[in-house]
Structure 1
Amino acid sequence: MTLGAVEPSLAPQLTVTADRALVSWIETQGRTSRLKFAERTPSGWSEPRTAASGDDLFTSWADVPSVFRLDAGTLVAQWLQTTDAAIDAYDVRLAFSKDQGRTWSAPTSPHHDGTKTQHGFASLFPAPGRGFGIVWLDGRAIETNAEKGNDNMSVRAATFDRDGKELGEALVDERACDCCPTAVAMTAAGPIAAFRDRSPDGVRDISVARRVNGEWTRPTTVHADGWQITACPVNGPAISARGRQVAVAWMTAKDDQGRAFAAFSSDAGATFDAPIRLDDAGSLGRVGIALVDDESAVASWIEFANQRAQLRIRRIDRSGARGAAQTVAGVGAERTSGYPRLARRGDELLLAWTETSDGRSKVQTAVAHW
């Protein structure tokens, strides 16, 4: 499916609200970066529009922006703005549009600590009353507790009303993996956030936290992989929800063997079933997942086989049954190929990824019917 992204482009993201899908990406020209987006229409993707631009946008293959549609029709864009390039410090920025992205509000931030640290890996989600929320990784403790040797990145969240007024900020987890993307989905019981946690001894497994009655629950582990690693693998989870059904996908590399898994929950993420292996030969992770009904999901991952990296998808059932894996495209094994994205819109499965070749990069998309 043709997308009006031009080279060089990177950092795709897909969001779906009430069967209306948006794809976003970054285009760079000289020192200027632009956050672009388009909407799925009956004839394909709409002409791209620009949500933010500047020479201070922080661009990353892993820490990507997004554009999200609220139920009331307002668009919300989130991206990163450099605050101190010398130390890779940046803030999350938010802006709103009430005219389909033609004009945007002055940007603001969901965090107000004022530290020149990293704030990023953000995920947007709808909130009651047609508002929205955002979850992000926050490095404020690194600066404020530097004399104590604190290197903790925390997970934080904030909620906003339909007019963009911030209603409050909350600490979700005081210590998480430094640079693995977060993911959020909406269940019938409220939002559920998935992220790579970090124990005091360096175990970095996937946890979830749920917002129940206005408060975030204590994080719980989806599955105890026991992956102990000294540095961040830059490989976050994916999550999808449908009523009280939840599916989470993730990558682990305990014993230096990369594998991709998914697990189902039928109680809005309070507990999870045993994990299901996604890959066949070995995985670089960078997973995606989309529930297609109450008993099954389609998952995506990057498989490394025969000296090639491939974006693959397969359908999995709660029972553990797996459909045949299908290759969507060849992708670069290097990190610049970024995170492929997977989302469901009605009976469509949408995919977006970055195609890289000879130092060039361009965001591509595809659609399949399940």
Structure 2
Amino acid sequence: MKKSILLLAPLFFFLFCSCQEKKEAVFNTTIKEIPSPCKEGGVPNLFISENGTTYLSWVEYLNDTTDALVFSKLKNEKWSSPHTIATGSDWFVNWADFPSLVAYEDGGKSLAAHWLQTSAKGSYDYDVRVAQSMDGGRTWSKSFIPHRDGIPAEHGFVSMLPLSDNNIFATWLDGRNTKGEENEADAHGHGQGGAMTLRGAIFDKKGTLTQEVELDNRTCDCCQTSVALTDKGLIVAYRDRSEKEIRDIYIVRQVGEEWTSPQPIFNDDWKISGCPVNGPVIVAEDKNVAIAWFSAPEKKARVKIAFSKDSGANFSLPIRVDDGKPLGRVDIVMLSPNEALVSWLEEADEGAVIKAVRVNPKGKIGESFNIANSNAARQSGFPRMEKNKNQIIFAWTNADSISRVKTAVLDL
């Protein structure tokens, strides 16, 4: 008997050690709010440059008629004093169609930012405006328009991405076809006029436009676009719109010098007559791609994620990640090639909560956790998050009596 026990002892030791080695590392969920540089404003956005600089951009509400697009940089968990990019009294400032800032891949010397500026009297007549800085944001160039149709119509929901050749790719929703000789009234995706389109172009530091292209000739009218770069090329995600009013999430990919035809991520078959104002977010690391989106077919609201291991050519079946009452407004970052962090807005007993959860391609979902309290009102906007090395940075609009941007970090 003693001999048997001695023989089994090494086995027990091996099994015990194996179990200890496989024990999952504890994921920190402690959110640390950091003072925001915003006085009164909203619609924040985040960007991480190639050299590891975190940029926060937002619209500061100067008074009842004038707005300013400003930015700040994060260092040692403190935001720098805001720098003004542009100001205007004729801007189109919208809770869902917000400005952005990106940095060229030149060590942070050159920046580009966009905002929306009205172009005519129509409620949705506005252009995309892009300004650039060659001195790290101290001074900014005269703005230019990346679409050259010259038609007073809706142009917005812009996504910009720096490329390695000192160029920037931009994609946006383009409403040039919604206006015509027989349709001079506002057309915002409710059956009037032509369809909203998805377009793209590349611009350089001089503002020269090249490779202007229509990527999809019929899309949803007011859902955000998103763009990522895989090892094979660019991939753009957006909400499509069929003739039968099915509004599911689609992608187009750049393969070589050509763009693929639009393809669905998954056939949710969400039939809805108007725009849900809830776009997807796509991220990539080499061949690994993850996309998060909101859908509500038959009024069953869901936040989903799908993964690709082949640069977006094929995607897994979607994985539901919400807690049962999602409002959408998603974001996503890659924690590693095999894990992502998804955030969204979830309805709560009082208002709403910004939540996040880890998920991997095998369908393993972590415990969801709260980032901040919020509300379902449009004024609360779309929470944003980005990953910079071993830290997640969050930004959102706190829509109390005075609207302010709030920020927080999560150490990984």
Whole-angstrom distance in 2 between the partners of 1:257 and 1:307: 21
Q: How far apart are 1:10 and its partner, in Å?
A: 1.1
1:287 pairs with 330, 339, 344, which one? Answer: 330
Q: In structure 2, do the counterparts of structure 1 residues 85 and 331 end up closer, same or farther at CA, with 3 Å as the change threshold?
A: farther
Q: Which amino acid aligns with 1:98?
A: M
In the alignment, is residue 70 of structure 1 matched against residue 104 of structure 2? yes
Q: Following superposition of structure 1 onto structure 2, how do residues 1-370 of structure 1 map, counting pairs within 5 Å? A: 1-7=34-40, 9-18=41-50, 19-28=52-61, 29-72=63-106, 73-144=109-180, 146=182, 150-358=193-401, 360-370=402-412
CA-to-aligned-CA distance 1:160-203 (integer Å, 9 cap, x gap): 13443212310000010000011111111111111011111000
Higher share of residues assigned strand: 1
Instruction: Verify the 8 A CA contact 1:183 1:194 in the aligned structure 2.
Output: yes
Q: Which amino acid aligns with 1:115?
A: I
For structure 2, which runs of at least 5 residues remain unmatched after alignment?
1-33, 184-190
**Structure 2 length normalisation: TM-score?**
0.87
Q: How far apart are 1:3 and its partner, in Å?
A: 1.8
Whole-angstrom distance in 1 between the partners of 2:262 and 2:405: 34
Whole-angstrom distance in 1 between the partners of 2:329 and 2:43: 12
Instruction: Verify the 8 A CA contact 1:80 1:91 in the aligned structure 2.
Output: yes
Instruction: Verify the 8 A CA contact 2:200 2:214 in the aligned structure 1.
Output: yes
Whole-angstrom distance in 2 between the partners of 1:149 and 1:264: 36
Whole-angstrom distance in 1 between the partners of 2:158 and 2:196: 13
Q: How far apart are 1:240 and its partner, in Å?
A: 1.1
CA-to-aligned-CA distance 1:278-323 (integer Å, 9 cap, x gap): 1112100000000111110001001113343100011111110111
CA-to-aligned-CA distance 1:144-168 (integer Å, 9 cap, x gap): 3746963300000000134432123
Whole-angstrom distance in 2 between the partners of 1:54 and 1:162: 23
Instruction: Verify the 8 A CA contact 2:96 2:224 in the aligned structure 1.
Output: yes
The percentage of aligned residue pairs carrying the same residue is 39
**Structure 1 length normalisation: TM-score?**
0.96
Instruction: Give runs of ≥4 in structure 1 deviating > 4 Å.
Output: 145-149
- The DSSP-based 3-state class of the residue aligned with 2:119 is strand
For structure 1, which runs of at least 5 residues remain unmatched after alignment?
none
Q: How far apart are 1:361 and its partner, in Å?
A: 1.2
Q: In structure 2, do the counterparts of structure 1 residues 43 and 254 end up closer, same or farther at CA, with 3 Å as the change threshold?
A: closer
Whole-angstrom distance in 1 between the partners of 2:132 and 2:268: 40
Instruction: Verify the 8 A CA contact 2:132 2:205 in the aligned structure 1.
Output: no
Whole-angstrom distance in 2 between the partners of 1:159 and 1:288: 24
Whole-angstrom distance in 2 between the partners of 1:25 and 1:265: 32
Whole-angstrom distance in 2 between the partners of 1:42 and 1:86: 45
